[in-house]
Structure 1
Amino acid sequence: MKIASQADFQIGVATTYPSVITGGTEFRINVPVKNTGNKDAEAVKAILKTKSYFTGTKTDYLGDIEQGSEKIATFELEADRDTIADNYETDIKIMWLDGDERLETTKSFGLVVVSGEGSNTGIMTIAAVAFILIVAIVGVFIYFKSKKRKGE
């Protein structure tokens, strides 16, 4: 039995910008696509299959990918403002030509959306510290002012 040579693909770790996705935000997702097969792939196209919460550009044409080479599929998306915080299983369909034959494979990765309420904790912490600092400064000022009056 002889196995025919053909391209095959592996996806790397998907990265997003911004790195934290919350409901109502626009983001870019980059997915490394590597040809791990034993043949070059022609006219490679990546199609993102997402839940309906995510809208935007879900197709990226990558061109030819030589055996052992990698290209980055980039998608510009928006998470609906009602998107629930969760780890969404996301499929990426990779299609390519092998001569006259169109081939495809589907791979999966997780897309994490976090709660919008927790994303402002850094700002809230800074505001709380600033408030406490201002109260302390005003308290010290009042203390020294009252001490100065007692000394007169």
Structure 2
Amino acid sequence: MISIKAIDHVVFRARNMEAMVRFYEDVLGARIERQVEELGLVQLRAGGCLIDLVDCAGRLGQRGGAPPGVEGRNIEHVCFRLDPWNGEAILAFLATHGIPEAEIAQRYGAEGYGPSIYLADPEGNVLELKGPSRELDS
């Protein structure tokens, strides 16, 4: 039987690796764990999971065809569970990184309904930052 416990890793194909690495480090607090230059791969640690960035011009990235763009994405979105959660502080922090349009909404996730924020990284990948679940008013 298969029982998924958490996100292990997600892989994003990137046109601009420098901008992507900077975003995931500076905005979301991930840290580079491993780089494999001959493959065009950077792996960033995000809590218990990894975010893999694959350069579209690199050996691995070329396997995926055309780079992500206006006509399509390589992924719908990835949700990261945040702990601790301070929604207003997160919004203020995102604004300092040029993401002022973010807003908090109640959405359903793995733990139930709770606050979440949607945003996009520099390549247009949609991300959801999720807070703890809260019981709905009956």
Shared fold per TM-score greater than 0.5: no
**TM-score, with structure 1 as normaliser:** 0.23
State which structure, 1 or 2, has the greater radius of gyration over its C-alpha atoms: 1
Structure showing the higher strand proportion among its residues = 1
